[in-house]
Structure 1
Amino acid sequence: MIFPFLKKKRRNSLYTIAFYNLENLFDTVDDPDTLDDDFTPNGSRKWTAKRYKRKLFKLARTISEIGFESTQKPPVLVGVAEVENEMVVRDLINSEPLRKIDYGYVHYDSPDERGIDTALLYHRSFFEVLASEPITLYVADQNGERDMTRDILYVHGKMNGEEVHVFVNHWPSRRDGADETQYKRILAAETICNFMLKIEAAHEDPNYIIMGDFNDNPESTSIQTLMKSAALYNPMEKLHSPFERGSTSYKRSWSLFDQIIVSHNYFNYKKRTHSFAHANIFDDRFLKEYSGKYKGNPFRTFAGKKYLGGYSDHFPVYIQLKYNE
C-alpha cells in the first residue's frame, strides 16, 4: 500500500527538463534585417495576429503539460528553438496557461538569416541563472562563405541549489542534403566539446544538460562526436525507432533530431543532488494529426504554405531528474 502523503512526496521530488522546436514562432511585424516577410499579415503565410495568438496558446498549453502527470508541476527548464526574438518568448510565457507560472527566460539574438533563435525558459522557484552567453558557431558553406546559423545558447545556473551547465542548440539544417551538410553539425559538436574543456578547467566534475534540435539522430556522426566526451550519456538513443516513434517525421520515417543529453554524474544518489530518472518523447494524442494520410504525425502549423492551425512539426522531448533529499 502506498500512503497518499508518501506518493505526493515522491512526485514532488521529480523535476522535468524539456526541449521543444516551436516551428516558426514569428510575430506579425516585418523585420527589415531578416527574412521574415512570409510571416506577416500580407506575406505568403497570411500570418495574422489571430493566428499568432492561437499558436501561442497551443504551445503554452503543451509546455505546461510536459511531464505534469508524474511531477504535478510544469517543467523547470524548457529549451526552445525557432523563436524570432525576445518579444515572442515574452509573449509565450505570458500566454495562458503559462501566465501564472513564474517563468523567466534567457535569449540572445542570433545571426540566423531568417532571424530564428533559441531560448531557455526557467522556473524561478527552482532555477537560478548565474551566467549566460551565446556561443557563436563559425561554419562556412561550400563556397567558403560564412553560413549565418544559430548560436548555441549557454546558461550556467543552479537547480535546487545544484550547479548545472546547460546548452540549448539548433544545429545547421539538412536542407542541402544530410551528407553535404554533415560537416557543419560535426563542427557544432566540436564547438561544445571545446567549450566544455573551458568549463572543466574552472569547475570540478560539472553537471551538463545538452539539449536541442540537432538535425541528426542519436547514431549520427555529429552526435557521436559529442558523445566522445566520457562525461556524457544520451538517454534518447533507446527512444528512436524509424518506423514507430520519433520527434519529427518525413516521408513516413521517424527521426529523433530533438534530444537531451546529460552528464554521467546524474547517476549518483548523493544528498542534495539530482539523479536521472526518465526520458521520453511528449507525443500525446492532442499533438498528433487525427486522421488521413499523416495520421499520428505531429499536428503542425503549416504544411508548405497551407495553414493547418496545429502546434509544431516537432514533438517535445523531456527528461526527469529526481532530487535526492
Structure 2
Amino acid sequence: MKNKSLYISIAILLFISSSFSQEKKTYAVNTIAFYNLENLFDTINDPNINDEDFIYTPENYKDKLQKLERVISQLGTGTDQKNSPVVLGVAEVENRQVLEDLCKQPILAAKGYAVIHFDSPDKRGIDTGFLYQKGHFQPTSYKNYALIVTEDETDKKAKDKVKVEDTDDNVVDIKTKRIYTRDQILMTGLLEGEEMHFIVSHWPSRRGGEKRSSPLREAAAALNKKIIDSLQIINPNAKIFTMGDLNDGPFNKSVKQVLGAKGDEKEVQPLGLYNPAEKLMNKGIGTLAYRDSWDFFDQIIISEPLLRKDYSTWRYWKAGVYNAPFMIQQTGQYKGYALRNGALGPGYSDHFPSYIYLIKEAKK
C-alpha cells in the first residue's frame, strides 16, 4: 500500500545571507500520541489476575470501546492535521484482545490500525502497548523490558498509612518483596520509510505518597534511560520517542534528573532529551487532575535529532493535549476533570491524551 501523507502549508522564517526572508513551503504532517485508556478490561474474569473489580458488562464494554474510538479518531486532528495518530502508545489495557477489539471499531478499522502488546507481570493485569496505522508505520522489531523493583519496610509503612484515590496499586510479592509493575516496550520501525524508535511505559504509582514512592519511578526512569542509551550507542542520531503515564510530572526527579529531559529546546545537547510537557504545564495545561490540582503525567519525550532544523526528514513541530468538551465532566464535584469511569457506566478516561506533531518538507 502506497503511503499518502497529508500536506499543509506552513510559513517559516529562513536565514538567508544574514537577512530575513519569508518563504511559504509545503510540509507533510504526522501525529504521535499517548493515551491512558483507564481500565480497558474485557467481560471475562481471568483467574490469573486481580480483575474482579474492573470487569465490564457486555453493554458497558461496547460503550467503552465506542468512547475510546471517538477520542482516538479525533486525537491530534484539526486545521493542521486531518489524520489521527499514526503511532499511539496506550496504558491500562488488560490484554491484547481488548486492543484488537478497539482496532475493530469501524472508524479505526478503516484507518488500518494494528497492535503491538506484551503481557506484563502487573497483578491487576494492566499492560501497555501500541496501536499503529499499517499504511504509515511498519514495525521491524519489538521487545519488552522488565522493571525489577522491591519494597523495603519504610515503603510498606507508608503504603499502609497513606491512601490515594487510585486503583493502581504497587502489589508486592510477600516472599521476594518484588513489586509487580508494568514492563517497558520498545518498538522500532519505519515511519514512511524512516527509522524511528518508540518506548511506552506506565511507571509505578504514587501509592504510599509521592515522596515515599519516588524511588520506584526513579528506577523506572533509569530503565528507560538504559534503553535509550543502548539505541544511541548503535546510532547517536537515533530518533527516539519515550512516552507513557509516568505517574510523575515533567519537574519531578525521575524525569528531570534521571532521564535528564530538558524543557527548553536550546538546552538539549547531542544525545539529550526534550520534554514538550514542561512548557505546556507552565501554561497551566495538564493531563489529569487530583484534588483540584493539575499535573502532566502523560508525557512524550523525544531525542535531540528530532529538534534539528533540517526538514528533509521528520522533525518535531509542536505538542498538545486533547481535551475536547465531550471528554470533560460538566457537573458535580469533579466538574472540569477528565470524564472517567463511574457508577453510571464507562467514561472516556481519567487522563487526557497528549500528542506531538512531526513535519517534513513535502516532495515536489
TM-score (norm 2): 0.81
1:313 corresponds, among 350, 353, 358, to 350
TM-superposed CA distance for 1:309, in Å, is 3.0
The amino acid that maps onto 1:309 is P
Listed as ranges, the matches of 1:141-156 within 5 Å are 141-143=151-153, 145-156=177-188
The amino acid that maps onto 1:155 is M
Using the alignment, how far apart are the partners of 1:262 and 1:183 within structure 2? 23
**Residues 12, 292 of structure 1: alpha-carbon distance in 2 compared, 3 angstrom cutoff:** farther
The amino acid that maps onto 1:174 is R
TM-superposed CA distance for 1:231, in Å, is 1.8
In the other structure, the counterpart of 1:23 is: 38
In the other structure, the counterpart of 1:114 is: 124
Please tell me whether residue 295 in structure 1 is matched to residue 295 in structure 2.
no
- Contact 1:17–1:320 under 8 Å retained in 2: yes
Using the alignment, how far apart are the partners of 1:221 and 1:299 within structure 2? 29
The amino acid that maps onto 2:107 is P
Using the alignment, how far apart are the partners of 2:151 and 2:273 within structure 1? 29
**SS of residue paired to 1:99:** helix
2:260 corresponds, among 227, 235, 245, to 227
Aligned pair count? 311
The amino acid that maps onto 1:317 is S
TM-superposed CA distance for 1:175, in Å, is 1.5
Using the alignment, how far apart are the partners of 1:121 and 1:10 within structure 2? 31
Please tell me whether residue 37 in structure 1 is matched to residue 70 in structure 2.
no
**SS of residue paired to 2:211:** helix
30-39 or 189-198, larger mean C-alpha shift:
189-198
TM-superposed CA distance for 1:158, in Å, is 1.3
The amino acid that maps onto 2:72 is I
**SS of residue paired to 1:68:** coil
Q: Which aligned runs of 4 or more in structure 1 are off by greater than 6 angstroms? A: 8-12
Please tell me whether residue 48 in structure 1 is matched to residue 28 in structure 2.
no
Please tell me whether residue 84 in structure 1 is matched to residue 94 in structure 2.
yes
TM-score (norm 1): 0.91
Please tell me whether residue 324 in structure 1 is matched to residue 361 in structure 2.
yes
In the other structure, the counterpart of 1:44 is: none
- Contact 1:61–1:96 under 8 Å retained in 2: no
TM-superposition CA deviations, 1:241-274 (whole Å, max 9, x none):
59x4311111000010111001111122435411
In the other structure, the counterpart of 2:197 is: 165
Q: CA RMSD in A?
A: 2.0
Using the alignment, how far apart are the partners of 1:13 and 1:254 within structure 2? 33
Listed as ranges, the matches of 1:167-246 within 5 Å are 167-224=199-256, 225-227=258-260, 230-240=271-281, 244-246=284-286
23-32 or 267-276, larger mean C-alpha shift:
267-276
TM-superposition CA deviations, 1:145-172 (whole Å, max 9, x none):
1101000011011112111111001000
TM-superposed CA distance for 1:214, in Å, is 0.1
Using the alignment, how far apart are the partners of 1:109 and 1:318 within structure 2? 25
| Identical-pair percentage | 39
- Contact 1:20–1:317 under 8 Å retained in 2: yes
The amino acid that maps onto 1:58 is K
**Residues 80, 10 of structure 1: alpha-carbon distance in 2 compared, 3 angstrom cutoff:** farther
- Contact 2:95–2:126 under 8 Å retained in 1: yes
In the other structure, the counterpart of 1:68 is: 77
The amino acid that maps onto 1:60 is E
- Contact 2:231–2:238 under 8 Å retained in 1: yes
The amino acid that maps onto 2:66 is F
The amino acid that maps onto 2:41 is F
Using the alignment, how far apart are the partners of 1:181 and 1:6 within structure 2? 45
**SS of residue paired to 1:13:** strand
TM-superposed CA distance for 1:292, in Å, is 2.6
**Residues 116, 11 of structure 1: alpha-carbon distance in 2 compared, 3 angstrom cutoff:** farther
Q: Which runs of 5+ in 1 are unaligned?
A: 41-46
The amino acid that maps onto 2:251 is E
18-27 or 270-279, larger mean C-alpha shift:
270-279
- Contact 2:33–2:355 under 8 Å retained in 1: yes
